[in-house]
C-alpha cells in the first residue's frame, strides 16, 4: 500500500524553520517515479540556510517519503488575485537555479560529460559544478543510473562508492581525473574513436581504389 502524500503537512513543518519565511510544496510526476515532492521556499532576509540544511531539518520532523526531492529557493512566491499562492505560476521542477544565481561553466570535457549525464538522469535543465547530487533530488537508484551511464561514456570501471563520496561535479571530476589509469580518460577515448574513424575511412578509400 502506498503512502499518503500530504504537501500541506510538509509546508507547515518547513515554515516552522527559523530561516524560512514562506513555503509551498507540490507533487510532481516525472514519468519515472509515481510522485515526487518539490518544495519552493522564500528565505528570511538574514537566512544562510541551504537546501541541504532544510532537508536535514525535515528529516528530523517528517517520514522519509515526505522529504521533497528538490528544494527551490525563490525571491517570492507567485500570488493569485485573491492573495493565495498561484501554484500554476511556480517555475517547473526542471528549473534549477543556483544558490547565488551565477553558474560557473565547466572547464573540462570531463566536467561537461558529467553535467550532461546528471541533467539527463535528474531531468534538470541546469546543473552547477558545486551542486550536490542529493540536493538536486538524486537518490541511490538514480545514482546507479548515473554510474551506468558514466561507465559507458568513459569506458572505464568506476567504483560506485566514489559517486556516493564525491557528490558534486567538481569533486567527482577531480576524483576521476586523479584515479589510477585503469582505463582511458574521456579525452583519450575521444581521440581513439577519432583515429578509428579515420582508419576506417582510409580502408574504405583503398578498397574503393582497388575496385576501380
pLDDT of residue 189: 54
- The domain 109-200 is placed in CATH, from the list 2.40.10.10, 1.10.1200.10, 1.10.10.10, 2.40.50.100, at 1.10.1200.10
Tell me if residue 8 falls in helix, strand or coil: helix
Residues of the chain with CATH 1.10.1200.10: 109-200
pLDDT of residue 86: 93
Tell me if residue 143 falls in helix, strand or coil: helix
Tell me if residue 5 falls in helix, strand or coil: coil
pLDDT of residue 191: 66
pTM check: above 0.85: no
Residues of the chain short of pLDDT 50, as ranges, are 1, 33-34, 95-102, 180-183
What digits encode the pLDDT tens for the residues 108-143? 999 999 999 998 888 887 888 878 888 787 888 888
Measured CA to CA, the distance from residue 34 to residue 24 in angstroms comes to 20
Residues of the chain with CATH 3.30.300.30: 7-89
Tally of CB atoms within 10 A around 20: 21
pLDDT of residue 145: 92
| Domain boundaries 7-89, corresponding CATH code | 3.30.300.30
Residue 127, C-beta contacts closer than 8 angstroms, at least 6 positions apart: 96, 115, 118, 119, 136, 169
Amino acid at each position: 500500500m502506498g503512502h499518503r502524500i500530504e504537501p500541506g503537512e510538509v509546508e507547515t513543518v518547513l515554515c516552522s524553520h527559523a530561516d524560512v519565511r514562506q513555503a509551498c510544496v507540490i507533487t510532481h510526476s516525472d514519468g519515472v517515479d509515481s510522485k515526487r515532492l518539490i518544495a519552493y521556499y522564500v528565505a528570511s532576509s538574514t537566512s544562510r540556510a541551504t537546501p541541504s540544511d532544510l532537508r536535514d531539518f525535515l528529516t528530523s520532523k517528517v517520514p522519509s517519503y515526505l522529504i521533497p526531492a528538490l528544494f527551490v529557493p525563490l525571491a517570492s512566491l507567485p500570488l493569485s488575485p485573491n492573495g493565495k499562492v498561484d501554484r500554476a505560476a511556480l517555475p517547473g521542477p526542471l528549473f534549477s537555479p543556483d544558490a547565488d544565481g551565477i553558474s560557473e561553466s565547466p572547464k573540462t570535457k570531463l566536467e561537461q560529460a558529467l553535467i550532461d549525464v546528471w541533467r539527463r538522469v535528474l531531468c534538470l535543465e541546469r546543473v552547477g559544478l558545486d551542486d550536490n547530487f542529493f540536493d538536486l533530488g538524486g537518490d541511490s537508484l538514480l545514482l546507479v543510473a548515473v554510474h551506468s551511464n558514466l561507465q559507458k561514456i568513459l569506458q572505464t570501471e568506476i567504483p560506485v562508492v566514489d559517486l556516493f563520496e564525491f557528490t558534486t561535479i567538481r569533486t567527482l571530476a577531480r576524483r576521476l581525473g586523479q584515479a589510477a589509469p585503469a582505463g582511458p580518460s574521456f579525452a583519450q577515448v575521444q581521440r581513439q574513436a577519432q583515429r578509428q574513424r579515420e582508419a576506417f575511412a582510409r580502408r574504405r578509400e583503398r578498397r574503393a581504389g582497388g575496385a576501380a
